[in-house]
Every structure is written in C-alpha cells, then in structure tokens.
Amino acid sequence: MRAPRLPVAGRVGTALAVVAVLVGCAGVPESSAPRIVEAIPRTGVTEEPDVRLQPSSPQPGQTPEEVVRAFVDAASSTDRRHGIARQFLTAGAAERWHDDAGATVLAKTPYFTLETSGSELTIRGDQVGIVDATGAYTSYPPAGLSYSYRVTLSRVDGQWRITNPPSGVIMTASSFNQAYRRLNVYFVDRTESRVIPDPRWLSASRDALPNLLLKALLDGPSTSLADAVATELGDGVSLASNVVPETDRVRVFLSGLTDQGTGALVAASAQIVWTLSQLGTAGVEIYDDGQLLAPPGVGAVQRLGDWRAYDPDSLALSTPGYFVRQGAVWTTDGKPTPGPAGRDTYQAQSVGVSRDLARLAVVGRIPHGVALYVGPARGQLVRRQTASSLTAPTWDPATGAAWTVRNGTDIIQVSSSGQPVRVKVQDLDRAERIGKIRLSPDGCRVALLVGPTGDQALYIGAVSRSESAVTALRPIVPRLTNVVDVAWATAGSLVVLTRNGGSDATLWSVAVDGSSAEPTTSSGLPGPPSAVAAAPDQPTLAVSEGGIWRLHDPREGWTGVPPRSTGSVVVAAPTYPG
C-alpha cells in the first residue's frame, strides 16, 4: 500500500488537466480541463444527455465590453480547448492563455466597467467558489468574495481583442447546469478494505469520460482527502493508451501495475472498477504492459459485483435506527435494546452504535455532569470519561474507537482499551466551540458543527490515518447558518438541519464537496424537527413533537415510528450505526 500522491505544487485554483479519448487514435490526445462550479446539478450521470454550449464567435464592430462579455460566455464551452473563446484574444494572448490554470466561480454574470482609457475594462463580481488542482470544489461565505480583474484590449485588423486574459476561466453558476456533471474518483482507505469517493465535476462527452476518470485516478486524491486515503495507482503506474469501449466492457491499458505486487493489483482493480462502473459499463478488462490481469478469485472481465465488499456505504437493509426514550436506548423496531442500556441504567442522553452492532457508546447523566459508557451492545458498559458535556458518540469503522466532543472543545476517541485520546484538529482555533461530530460511513471524513449556539456552521475534515488528527478542515455550504444537527446519508452526502427562529427549521440534502444543498420535504411532520439521523439505504429519521418520524420517500412524506410520545414520555437523539 502506498500513500496518495499529492498534486504538483503551484497548481492552485484549477480544474484537472486531463486527456480525452478519441476512439481509433493511437495516442492519448489532450483536451480542455473539466471544471466544477457553484450549482445544484443532478447527479444521475448515466441518464443525463451530453450537452454542448454553442457560444457565438466574434462579430465585426463589437465594443470592448461586448468582446469581454462574449469571451466570458464562450469560456463556458471547453470544445477544442476553448477554441471560440480564444478567437476573442490577440494571437499572442491566445497562445499564452492557460485555460486550464484555474476556475473562478461567480454567483451570476459579472459587471463590466469600461475605464477612461477606452481600451481597458474591469470585470467585477461576487466570487462564490474556486476549483483546485484536482477538480474539487471549495465554497466561499454566503456573501462571496469580491472579484475584480482589469482586462486590456487592442485593435487587430480594426477589431477589439483581449491582450491579457485572466489565468484560467471565469464561470457563472448557471453555466454549469448546461455542461458539467459530477462523478466520483475512488481511492481506498488505509486498510484497503473499502473505496472512498472523491467527487469531481467534468465537462466532456461520454466517450471522453473513461479516460478522464482514469487520468484523475493516476493524479491522486484531492487535497482535502489526501491525508485520509491511499491509492495503488500512484507513482510508477501510468496510462499506456486510450481506454477502449466495447459492447459489454471497457478495456483499460496501464503500465507498471504488476510491479507493485498482488495486493496492489487487488486494490487498484477495485478503484478502477468502482470508478468506471458509474458510466454504466457492464465490465472492465485491465491490461498491464499488454498482459490481461485477473486478480485472485475474479475473472478476466471484472464487474462491480466482484468488488461489492469495498462499498463505503455498506449497511444491512434490516439495520434499525436507535434513539433515547426516558433514559433508555430503543430501536425503531419499537423495542428497547437488550441489556442494561435498554433500561434507564445509564440515564442515557445520546447513544452511538458500532457499525457491526456489537458495541455501544452511551452518554448518560451523572450528578455533576455526564459520563461516557462504552461496552458490548448486550452487556454491561464501562464508564470511560466524565465531563461537563459530551456530544453524541460516533464510531470509527477503521479503528473501532468511539469519538465524542468533550466540554465543547476537545475531540476525544475511546479505543477498545478504554483510554481516551485527544484528537488534534488542524485549522481550528481552540477557542471555537464544537457542538456536534459525526464520522462518515467509511470513516475517512468527519462532519463538525462549529461556532456558538445559535450560529453554528457545518465543517468537513479528513480523518488522518497517520496520527489521531483531523486535517483539511473547511466550511461547507456557508450559506446554511445556525446548523443544529448533521448526519451522513452516504459517504458522499449529508442531511443537515438548520433553524432560523423558534419554529423555522429546515432539513437539507448536502453534497460532501459543498457544491449542492437542496431542502428536504417536511410534509407529514407534526412540527419543526429538532434532531436528525441518516444512513446509507435507510430512511431518514427526525425528532418532531417528542416523537420519532421516518422518511422513506420524499414523495410520500414522513410517517411516525412507534411508540409515540405520550405526555412526559419523549424521545431524543436518533442515530444509526456508525
């Protein structure tokens, strides 16, 4: 197993520099870079049609403002390396322009102000996001950042042309909906037992997508995820030629993979098959230096089912939800859990259940604060930590440790040995209050609610496997304010609960990269929700009016989960294993 290969230094604010496939050609020709922008797109990649923007070419007599405006519009089309956009540049500028050097994302069409010289124009707008070197998206605060760039123009054969285009491209949110789609590049966790999604946004034809994804795999994980994952497709492995699509499979041609050993072949195969299966391909053949590879126990044509065990979202369909009722732990099957936790032995306030359902972590009331109890799901729990406050526990599937936040400042993990260890959190002021923590289903990411009560924001970080630390912590969808609860719906999406005012609460479905946030229906709920739980392939749970409610299908609305609350008997702290 090898650590991930990080992006080349200096390549910032850019989309991937990738290769496009041209079936029948011998080489791997270049194409313009795919990009991500602020938008709320659909993610059903295989169902979406290919869309091509048709920007206008330069017209005689255009003013400087018309030229710059048309250049920005034309930059939304990546065909022929922004061939039409280059027509608005002088010959020297067209040759120098690094269209793949970055992506500036504006909330809407920018303002264009002609300067007094008559040959200079300033582009102004609200920058809401950027694209980094891997194609990953980073959002900016709700008000955005002020963007300004002064463009110089000169006359060429009597027509105005741009002499100093901005490095990279300028995009608006609306442009994305016409040309970009989200796909995951899959890496592996440090145990190489599951694949980890790393979302990218691509603008390319369907024929180009296999090569784009393979090149992204070889380039390594995005910066925000690099410390949490590994790859067997890093240094020493290269793309030998174009991916070749067949009727029932695709053929992948690599070089250098067999030199890494059998273990590397297994993990690399899982990465490749999971990544390419998003395109609807039925199978994958992998060749290394011309030799057809077949990992142990897998046929020459590898299918997603061969690598289903690597699913980062795997959870049995029969898995119940858990919640606290009158100090005892219950399940959505309508019964208390077996053992002392199912009674009010620990005066439970919240509960965390390990992914294999074998262990519980319970936060319970004690005379002068709270305590964390950890132990077997059906047996006696042991007190492992006391504090003034402890957040609802969450379990790390890789280490088997329970995580919680102590006194609003320190993240601690309690391993099977029972000794609490403080987790380092980079990029976070120790004075910042942490109100909630949830580990992703694969254990490679962590969601935190950060800030004072009434003004908490959602942050996502990576769980470092080299030490007990959270790295690459950053705010996600900053426009969602006063976040009161969060849960992982999948390894790549979350359910977020915000509250603005006493009765104004909203549930949101949020992409892990922060590129989308859509409200979830409240139809059927008796009142505003106060807590939420989610898990892969499970109904979303919410607490409302002292009872547990379940959402299987947004079209059908919420339904109640027995037993209903009666009088002073109320429920709280819903959760799923993980």
Give the domain ranges of the chain.
64-178, 180-310, 322-575
Q: Nearest-CA neighbor of 313 among 512, 517, 482, 469?
A: 512
* Whole-number pLDDT of residue 141: 63
How many helices (H) and strands (E) the chain has is answered by: 6, 38
Q: With 70 as the cut, is the pLDDT of residue 250 above it? A: yes
User: Can you give the three-state secondary structure of 196-252, one letter per residue?
Assistant: EEEEEEECCCCCCHHHHHHHHHHHCCCCCCCCCEEECCCCCCEECCCCEECCCCEEE
Give the Cα separation of 284 and 303 in Å (integer): 6
Question: 252: exposed, middle or buried (C-beta count within 10 Å: 0-12, 13-18, 19+)?
Answer: buried
DSSP line for 17-46: --B---TT-SS--B-PPP---S------GG
CA triplet 83, 85, 91: central angle to 5 degrees?
80
Contact status, residue 443 vs residue 425, Cβ threshold 8 Å: no
Backbone angles phi, psi at 495, to 5 degrees: -110, 125
105 or 464: whose pLDDT is higher?
464
Q: With 90 as the cut, is the pLDDT of residue 164 above it? A: yes
Give the Cα separation of 558 and 523 in Å (integer): 6
pLDDT tier at 502 (50, 70, 90 boundaries)? low
Give the Cα separation of 295 and 80 in Å (integer): 39
Identity of the residue numbered 235: D
pLDDT tier at 13 (50, 70, 90 boundaries)? very low
Query: Which pTM was predicted?
Result: 0.85
29 or 170: whose pLDDT is higher?
170
Give the Cα separation of 436 and 446 in Å (integer): 10
Q: What is the largest CA-CA distance in the chain?
A: 86
* Whole-number pLDDT of residue 104: 81
Q: Nearest-CA neighbor of 103 among 56, 137, 148, 53?
A: 137
pLDDT tens digits for range 15-56: 333 323 222 333 323 333 333 232 323 333 434 444 456 789
* Whole-number pLDDT of residue 43: 35
Q: Measured between alpha carbons, how far is residue 306 from residues 16, 258, 293 in Å?
A: 29, 20, 14
Q: With 70 as the cut, is the pLDDT of residue 10 above it? A: no
How much is the average pLDDT of 81-91?
A: 93
Give the Cα separation of 488 and 494 in Å (integer): 4
Fold that domain 64-178 belongs to in CATH: Nuclear Transport Factor 2; Chain: A, (3.10.450)
* Whole-number pLDDT of residue 103: 77
| Contacts (Cβ under 8 Å, ≥6 apart) of 306 | 273, 298, 299
Contact status, residue 3 vs residue 188, Cβ threshold 8 Å: no
* Whole-number pLDDT of residue 32: 32
pLDDT tier at 106 (50, 70, 90 boundaries)? confident
pLDDT tens digits for range 471-490: 999 998 888 989 999 999 99
DSSP line for 360-425: EEEEEEETTEEEEEEEETTS--EEEEEES-BPPPEE-TTT--EEEEETTTEEEEE-TT--EEEEEE
Q: Which residue has the tokens 């859990």?
A: 337
Give the Cα separation of 568 and 329 in Å (integer): 17
Average pLDDT of the chain is 86
Q: Which residue has the tokens 């892969």?
A: 536
Class of domain 322-575 as given by CATH: mainly beta
Q: Using CA atoms in the order 340, 346, 349, 354, what is the torsion angle rounded to 10 degrees?
A: -50
Label the pairing between strands 420-425 and 410-414. Answer: antiparallel
Helical H runs in 259-398?
A: 262-277
Contact status, residue 78 vs residue 93, Cβ threshold 8 Å: no
| Contacts (Cβ under 8 Å, ≥6 apart) of 481 | 142, 455, 457, 498, 500
Q: With 80 as the cut, is the pLDDT of residue 548 above it? A: yes
Contact status, residue 432 vs residue 423, Cβ threshold 8 Å: no
Q: Which residue has the tokens 């540049």?
A: 89
A 10 A CB-CB count for 11 gives: 16
pLDDT tens digits for range 331-375: 999 999 999 999 999 999 999 999 999 999 999 999 999 999 999
Output DSSP code: residue 168. Answer: S
* Whole-number pLDDT of residue 503: 67
pLDDT tens digits for range 149-158: 999 999 999 9
Q: Nearest-CA neighbor of 4 among 198, 209, 295?
A: 198
Q: Measured between alpha carbons, how far is residue 94 from residues 84, 89, 100 in Å?
A: 11, 5, 13
Give the Cα separation of 62 and 205 in Å (integer): 32
* Whole-number pLDDT of residue 142: 55
Identity of the residue numbered 552: H
